[in-house]
Amino acid sequence: MAKLIDASEAADDISIQEAATALMAGELVVFPTETVYGLGAIVSNEDALRHIYRAKGRPSDNPLIIHVSDEEMFFQYAKDSEAASILINHFCPGPLTLVVPARDSLSRVITAGLDTVAIRIPCHPLAQDLIRATGEAIAAPSANRSGRPSATRASDAFEDLENDIAYCIDGGPSEVGLESTIVDLSVEPFQILRPGYYTAETLNLVFKRLGKYPKFQVVEAPIQEMAKQQGPKAPGMKYRHYAPETEVLIIEGSSLEKRISDFSKKCADLDPSDSIAAFVSSELASQLEARGLLDSVELIQFSSPVDASHRLFAVLRDFDQPNTRRILVESLDGDTIEIAYMNRLRKAASSKQEALK
């Protein structure tokens, strides 16, 4: 039976030490990071690594991200890379994962047989404490069953994985709420494999400032190309993600008026008795309210793109009830966190169609 360690308790070193001891003994531990919760196993124990795949129901060709405490530990698992060093010095610890050539000693269970490894240095203090307490990297994909929205609260991870973990450390809601940006440094030009908090533009600014650009250059992989991508570089990209059971539709439109009409169009085929849930900006909500379009709608409003990203996964989980007929979520325009938000939202919304294919 898993033990839940709450945020205040977890602040004490004994709880972290207990969880670290369980990890070192080959057990799985859920822990908070600034992006989403992670399902952790120690990298040196292949049985524990295989247990991650089993617990999540994750295909074995979908590689894991490993979490390290600092640059020195990063290069214990990665071969030397100047570009990686530069990005680590500017953005880490933080929500950025680097794909780099792996050292030969690293287990290929982590990399799904690839010779590259994805590594991140989380900045959450409890994640840092846990890694330092084990003295080794911790492999940790998002702490959810495969295909479900990622866990951004300890209770979500506990619900999905209770029977497979020794401890679940509760550090409160994840700050960012979307998974890290993944940038592949093993190809030229470097490629964003998964959009996140940091965009290609932000990463390139650093290379430009250091006079390394365009030798070092990050390009944004188009979403369509990413969905199709099934080559050996990123096998994980072919699996669907983030999907609730309930149908999710996106409210789109270049003006508030167009969004209002898109909203009513996307409710038009439903019976008055059908229950609808909506996650929209407070701006759109007040307009819908004024037109009487929210009378039987379970509503959650967001105040900004950062707030929407922070809460998206939790809202999708909370809305995903058996009697809910449809979930409507407002799209976001913009070229920073909005890119990552729309990437996750489109996956959640396309899952029904995908499942039918």
Residues forming the site for Mg ion (CB under 5 A):
142
In the complex, least distance from residue 40 CB atom to ligand AMP, rounded to whole angstroms:
11
Residue type, 211: G
Map the footprint of ligand AMP across residues 227-266, applying CB under 6 A. 233-234, 236-237
In the complex, least distance from residue 243 CB atom to Mg ion, rounded to whole angstroms:
11
Map the footprint of ligand AMP across residues 9-28, applying CB under 6 A. none
Residue number of the CB atom closest to Mg ion = 142
- The residue from 32, 40, 63, 94 that contacts ligand AMP (CB under 6 A) is 63
Q: Is 95 in the site for ligand AMP (CB under 6 A)?
A: no
Q: Is 65 in the site for ligand AMP (CB under 6 A)?
A: yes
Rounded to the nearest angstrom, the gap between the alpha carbon of residue 312 and the centroid of all alpha carbons in its chain is: 11
Binding partner at 42 among Mg ion, ligand AMP, none, C-beta below 5 to 8 Å by kind: none
Q: Which is nearer to ligand AMP, 93 or 149 (CB)?
A: 149
Q: Is 52 in the site for ligand AMP (CB under 6 A)?
A: no
Do β-strands 138-139 and 65-67 pair in parallel, antiparallel, or remain unpaired? antiparallel
The residue count for binding ligand AMP (CB under 6 A) is 18
Q: Which is nearer to ligand AMP, 233 or 240 (CB)?
A: 233
* Alpha-carbon separation of residue 117 from 85, 101, 181, 198, 241 (angstroms): 15, 6, 15, 19, 21
Rounded to the nearest angstrom, the gap between the alpha carbon of residue 145 and the centroid of all alpha carbons in its chain is: 13
Binding partner at 117 among ligand AMP, Mg ion, none, C-beta below 5 to 8 Å by kind: ligand AMP
Q: Which is nearer to ligand AMP, 182 or 332 (CB)?
A: 182
Cβ atoms of 51 and 138 within 8 Å: the answer is: no
Structure tokens that stand for 155 in this block: 């209770």
212: which DSSP letter? -
Cβ atoms of 3 and 102 within 8 Å: the answer is: no
Structure tokens that stand for 312 in this block: 């998206």
Residue number of the CB atom closest to ligand AMP = 236
- The Cα–Cα gap between 352 and 356 comes to 6
3-state secondary structure (DSSP) of residue 68: coil
3-state secondary structure (DSSP) of residue 261: helix
Q: Which is nearer to ligand AMP, 263 or 313 (CB)?
A: 313
Binding partner at 118 among ligand AMP, Mg ion, none, C-beta below 5 to 8 Å by kind: ligand AMP
Structure tokens that stand for 31 in this block: 């822990």
Map the footprint of ligand AMP across residues 157-196, applying CB under 6 A. 179, 182, 193
What are the residues whose beta carbons fall under 8 Å from the beta carbon of 108, sequence distance 6 or more?
114
- The Cα–Cα gap between 73 and 44 comes to 14
Cβ atoms of 177 and 340 within 8 Å: the answer is: no
Q: Which is nearer to Mg ion, 21 or 62 (CB)?
A: 62
Binding partner at 45 among ligand AMP, Mg ion, none, C-beta below 5 to 8 Å by kind: none
Residue type, 246: T
In the complex, least distance from residue 98 CB atom to ligand AMP, rounded to whole angstroms:
10
Map the footprint of ligand AMP across residues 112-141, applying CB under 6 A. 114, 116-118, 141
- The Cα–Cα gap between 260 and 255 comes to 9
- The Cα–Cα gap between 216 and 206 comes to 10
CA dihedral of residues 144, 145, 146, 148 (deg, nearest 10): -70
- The residue from 15, 128, 142, 331 that contacts ligand AMP (CB under 6 A) is 142
Applying CB under 6 A, which residues contact ligand AMP?
A: 62-63, 65, 99, 111, 114, 116-118, 141-142, 179, 182, 193, 233-234, 236-237
